[in-house]
Structure 1
Amino acid sequence: MSASSPTATPGATTPSGREQRDARRAKAQGNPWLTLVAVALGVMMVGLDGTVVGVANPTIAADLDASLSGLQWVTNGYLLALAVLLILGGKLGDRFGRKKVFVIGIAGFALTSLGCALSPDIGTLIVFRVLQGVAGALLMPNTLALIRSAFPPAELNRAVGIWGGSSALAVASGPIIGGLLVEHVSWESIFLLNLPLGLLAMVVALAWVKESKDEGHTGSFDVPGVGLLSGGLFLVVWALIKAQDKGWGSAYVLLFALAGVVVLGLFVLREHRAEDPLLPLDIFRERSVWAGTLLVVVGFFALFGVLFFIGLYLQNTHGYSPVQTGVRMLPLTAMFVVSAPLGGWMTETYGPRPPLILGMVLLVVAFFGLSQLEVDTSYNGQWPYFLIIGLSFGLVIVSTTQAILGNVPVERGGVAGGLQSTAQQLGGVLGTAVFGSIIASKVTSSLGDELASRNVPGPVAAIVDKAGELVSQGVSPVDAEKAPQSLIAGIAQASGGTPSPQLTASIRDASYATFIDGLHAAMYVGVGLAVVAAVLGLLVSRGRELEDDEVAGA
């Protein structure tokens, strides 16, 4: 017998081929770096989705004949679903297995992305965006937990840094990737991009990610709390968006707003009495936690509000193509890569208060600068404010992580991280909803006067005045490429034939001037919010020192 040949031991049983394959599969599963690949692909899908849609909004509106409120729900439906289900998604992973819930989230995100791409109308697109948010809430909270279970402590921070960097890269490159796809392929392709990413993430996860769960997890999922939180937020956001055409003081808007406040009040009562609440309210007894949460909301309010409406301004009013828009928004998104480490250094050196206050002061400067934009403002008058917002954003997000997580006990770090993530999505919802309502209200109240001041004939002005939803997106009703042909035909008929170049120019100038006035009003509201937030920054304190993976994870 050869020396290399195995020697049979009396009484031993030779493993079968199937047992050997199972042993090899078990050994392969749990590969930490392949686990990192799978979860990085997952967060890249979600990160890309957060910024590519902003560039595609004008094209989606034109192709699906969408109103401003419809476009807002494309963003807000996704963010709302993500906001109210993130904590639940983490609890489901703890109970049933993080790999299992992560893979379900990846599959759901890819399939709902396909649904978005195949949507024949804006209503269908909104439904699939909401479902996409649900899938994202299953995917996102389990990514960091999988990394923590796969990597030894010595390599964990490095892995979390790569994980966070992949998300930052996706966010920063989103506008350019979105612009290229929208301009050279179609708006549907921005959603189809998730299919190969999702398929690859699923294959890697199923083959090489090891399952993990909290074996001692016996708590409830607080389904009533989830229902009350989602219902209350939906009613409030619905009221904000409907204020665009109903008016801020209308009974309709006030009724829905009041109903939303009542339902959120019931949510607070439910959480106060629940044995295992979705959001334990006692963590808000610490001043830095509630102040930091509000500051996160303001930071994301600014980010999503500006991304949404500056995207409309750059394409519809300023005339940039989708690719040009993506490139010109790069100072905002790419600055995250610089501002986040800077925020980390400042927070570690001086505590969270100085970078928070500095970040909010920078937001004041940026909002005020954007309030001076005009139709013909050159790019040199735009990009410094985009860059300032990106700088401010990184300072605020890292320092609020310390303010929130550092002021709760270690064992409640998961709840605090979920609170911060929920506040981020909620801020994005409020940014698009509030800014949109302000702009639309300004258009409704001022468009007729602007048309009259330019001597647009009454019959023509009456038709243009009914196109306020279009003007609220920065589109001129005489723009043959973006305005409905029925509207252009109506204007021609009211003017007794083809409108003269002078009349066309008057309608265009009035429309753009009204949109810009609304944009200015929205930016001034942003100035006020940032000033209040800077004062709130005085209330936060450092708390306990955070581990590196806590900072990167949040």
Structure 2
Amino acid sequence: MSTVSLGSSAGKWIMVSSIMASAMAFIDGTALNVVLPSLQQSLNATGTDLFWILNAYLLMLAALIMIGGALGDKLGRKKIFMVGIFIFIVGSATCGFAPDVKVLIACRMLQGIGGALMIPGSLSLISSSIDEKERGKAIGTWSAFTTVVTLGGPILGGTFGDAGLWRYIFFINVPIGIVALLILWLKVKESRDEDADHAIDFPGAVSIALGLAALTFGFLRAPVMGFVHWQVYVSLTAGTLLLAAFLLIESKSSHPMMPLKLFSNMTFSGVNLLTFFLYAGLSAAMLFLSLNLVQAQGYSQLQSGLTFLPFTILMIVMARIAGGIADKHGPRLLLIGGPATTGVGLLILSFVKQTNGPADYWTTFFPGVIVFGTGMSFTVAPLTAAVMGSVSDHFSGTASGVNNATSRIANVFANAILGALAVLFFTGALQQDIQHIPLNGKQKQVVMAQATNLGDAKVPAGFNDHDQQIIKKLYRDGFISVYARVMQLSALLAFLGALMSFLFIKNNTVKKGKSPDAS
């Protein structure tokens, strides 16, 4: 397919449809973080349930997104993109009607299948359709608009959550998806790789899906059962073996969903390592910041969503600029400085203790949000451009799929491992602090039983007013301590991402049409 200019009518319709579909997926995640406290109360969900609600979607996305990218290259990028949008719309609608946690988790899996076909389609269409000289600018524009809408998600989520309408976070995807489908059907031409074979790597997809599910199950069961329980160590062992089997399958397959030869390009390897560490930290930080603001600091869900507004403004101003700088000077310095700055911002946020609520925002959370937002603003567009620029057009969909899968796998591990650690940290903090309260053994046991609910821990019945206040403070202080430790671990992950960029990412990219392992 011949490329078009960004300013042409065809270029604009490609950008609009890609931005709408991507925003629909990303807004779902950011808004969901904010309404989790409301959802947790409405469905009587435990802390572990929350991590499964997040991970059910991410598991399917991580397992299938690489196949989604490859299918687009082989069968038609527009066609697969549209199928993905349709499935995502159906999954969103069923999530909105889910009567309990188990049904919601199942419907989130359906959303994940749709997302796996839809998300790589947006970047793949841009990369294969927009003129190479304007590609960085196009990706910067895509990053800016999707991030604006995505980070508008918390405000929308807060509004719905405070009104008791958390289900509308899912329903709102339906009209957006329908408009995107109409634009694609009427205004966008098909794009495919005519040289691609049509074989699909189902063994690879099954092995990575089962491997990630087993590891997630093991880590989320660990705080309750202990690491020595057979369910935990069998799950963790099986998950590790299945992921090893996935790598073996990919190395032997004649049509792998993740061609390992792509990783012979050091920039491609480096940018995916950066993606893994940075997005693992980002996922945990955004989740625990949202929970802390509502459950410990006394913010409403709307006020919690509004705390991310400075982040949104920074992305509007800087993302497109960062894409242009990466086009002219290469992405390396931005991909070192951006994640490092993000880490500093997360570290600053970790030092915020108990505050007087939204009135203290400007002197407590605001400085960290500004630093963190600045780092991410200079990272998103150059990172995406580096991924797409490190491979030939022949592998554009696959490369996008691999990088998107990497970020989702990072989210799965962050939610599973840091979620398990959070429960362990919270339990440890409660066990230590409860010794200083004059309660009998049975009373201490019922207080400790709330540990799995994290910030939503509620004082059990049967305590007098004085003891209730003490236990409430115990839960709040314990959760703020957990928040601080998770944010510090997230900052460490961001710093590791910057180190990966320093070690592996180069400014030179492959020339289009050459083999994917060309340097």
Q: TM-score range with shorter-chain normalisation? A: 0.7 to 0.9
Q: Which residue of 1 aligns with 2:202?
A: 223
Tell me the distance in 1 between the aligned counterparts of 2:27 and 2:511: 27
Q: Return closer, same or farther for 1:306/1:148 CA change in 2, 3 Å cut-off.
A: closer
CA offsets 1:477-526 (integer angstroms, 9 cap, x no match): 13xxxxxxxxx4xx22xx4xxx22x2111001111122122222223323
Q: Return closer, same or farther for 1:353/1:247 CA change in 2, 3 Å cut-off.
A: farther
Tell me the distance in 1 between the aligned counterparts of 2:144 and 2:495: 31
> Is the 8 Å Cα contact of residues 295 and 396 (structure 1) preserved in structure 2?
no
Pairing 1:451–2:434 present: yes
Q: Which residue of 2 aligns with 1:16?
A: none
Q: CA deviation at 1:338?
A: 3.7
Tell me the distance in 2 between the aligned counterparts of 1:535 and 1:145: 28
Q: Return closer, same or farther for 1:545/1:151 CA change in 2, 3 Å cut-off.
A: closer
Q: CA deviation at 1:251?
A: 4.3
Pairing 1:129–2:108 present: yes
Tell me the distance in 2 between the aligned counterparts of 1:64 and 1:533: 36
Q: CA deviation at 1:147?
A: 5.1
Instruction: Give 1:364-403 correspondences, 5 Å limit.
Output: 364-376=343-355, 378-379=360-361, 380-401=363-384
Q: Which residue of 2 aligns with 1:435?
A: 418
Q: Which residue of 1 aligns with 2:254?
A: 275
Q: Which residue of 1 aligns with 2:516?
A: none
1:335 is paired with a residue of what secondary structure? helix
Q: CA deviation at 1:132?
A: 0.4
Tell me the distance in 2 between the aligned counterparts of 1:116 and 1:411: 36
Tell me the distance in 2 between the aligned counterparts of 1:139 and 1:195: 14
Tell me the distance in 1 between the aligned counterparts of 2:340 and 2:11: 41
Instruction: Give 1:145-544 correspondences, 5 Å limit.
Output: 145-146=124-125, 162-184=141-163, 186-248=165-227, 250-344=229-323, 347-348=326-327, 351-376=330-355, 378-379=360-361, 380-401=363-384, 404-409=387-392, 411-470=394-453, 472=454, 474-478=455-459, 488=460, 491-492=461-462, 495=463, 499-500=464-465, 502-544=466-508
CA offsets 1:234-258 (integer angstroms, 9 cap, x no match): 2222222222222345443232222
CA offsets 1:201-259 (integer angstroms, 9 cap, x no match): 23333334333433333242111111111111222222222222223454432322221
Gaps of 5+ in 2: 1-8, 513-519
Tell me the distance in 1 between the aligned counterparts of 2:430 and 2:476: 10
> Is the 8 Å Cα contact of residues 136 and 324 (structure 2) preserved in structure 1?
no
Q: CA RMSD in A?
A: 2.8
Q: Which residue of 1 aligns with 2:6?
A: none
Gaps of 5+ in 1: 1-29, 479-487, 549-554
Q: Return closer, same or farther for 1:52/1:346 CA change in 2, 3 Å cut-off.
A: same
Q: CA deviation at 1:177?
A: 1.3
Tell me the distance in 2 between the aligned counterparts of 1:530 and 1:96: 37
Q: CA deviation at 1:300?
A: 0.9
Question: When the two structures are aligned, how many residues end up with a matched partner?
Answer: 500
Q: Which residue of 2 aligns with 1:22?
A: none
1 or 2 for the larger relative contact order (CA 8 Å, sep ≥6)? 2
Pairing 1:76–2:40 present: no
Q: Return closer, same or farther for 1:160/1:366 CA change in 2, 3 Å cut-off.
A: closer
Q: TM-score normalized by structure 2?
A: 0.88
Q: TM-score normalized by structure 1?
A: 0.82
Moved more, 260-269 or 249-258: 249-258
Tell me the distance in 2 between the aligned counterparts of 1:350 and 1:210: 32
Tell me the distance in 2 between the aligned counterparts of 1:349 and 1:174: 32
> Is the 8 Å Cα contact of residues 296 and 396 (structure 1) preserved in structure 2?
no
Question: Which residue, 28, 47, 52 being the options, matches 2:26?
Answer: 47
Tell me the distance in 1 between the aligned counterparts of 2:267 and 2:129: 32
1:318 is paired with a residue of what secondary structure? coil
CA offsets 1:31-65 (integer angstroms, 9 cap, x no match): 65445443332222112112110111000000001
Counterpart of 2:405 in structure 1: which amino acid? T
1:319 is paired with a residue of what secondary structure? coil
Q: CA deviation at 1:188?
A: 0.4
Q: CA deviation at 1:389?
A: 2.0
Q: Return closer, same or farther for 1:410/1:101 CA change in 2, 3 Å cut-off.
A: closer
Moved more, 143-152 or 128-137: 143-152
CA offsets 1:313-349 (integer angstroms, 9 cap, x no match): 1111111111111001223344333443454355456
Q: Return closer, same or farther for 1:285/1:107 CA change in 2, 3 Å cut-off.
A: closer
Counterpart of 2:474 in structure 1: which amino acid? A
CA offsets 1:71-118 (integer angstroms, 9 cap, x no match): 112112212212222221122233333333222222211111111111
> Is the 8 Å Cα contact of residues 59 and 187 (structure 1) preserved in structure 2?
yes
> Is the 8 Å Cα contact of residues 403 and 540 (structure 1) preserved in structure 2?
no
Counterpart of 1:462 in structure 2: which amino acid? Q
Q: Which residue of 2 aligns with 1:38?
A: 17
Tell me the distance in 2 between the aligned counterparts of 1:452 and 1:280: 55
CA offsets 1:170-221 (integer angstroms, 9 cap, x no match): 1121111111122235000111111211222233333343334333332421
Look at both structures and tell me which one has the larger radius of gyration over its CA atoms. Answer: 1
Counterpart of 2:256 in structure 1: which amino acid? P
Tell me the distance in 1 between the aligned counterparts of 2:117 and 2:166: 26
> Is the 8 Å Cα contact of residues 61 and 71 (structure 1) preserved in structure 2?
yes
Tell me the distance in 2 between the aligned counterparts of 1:547 and 1:390: 33
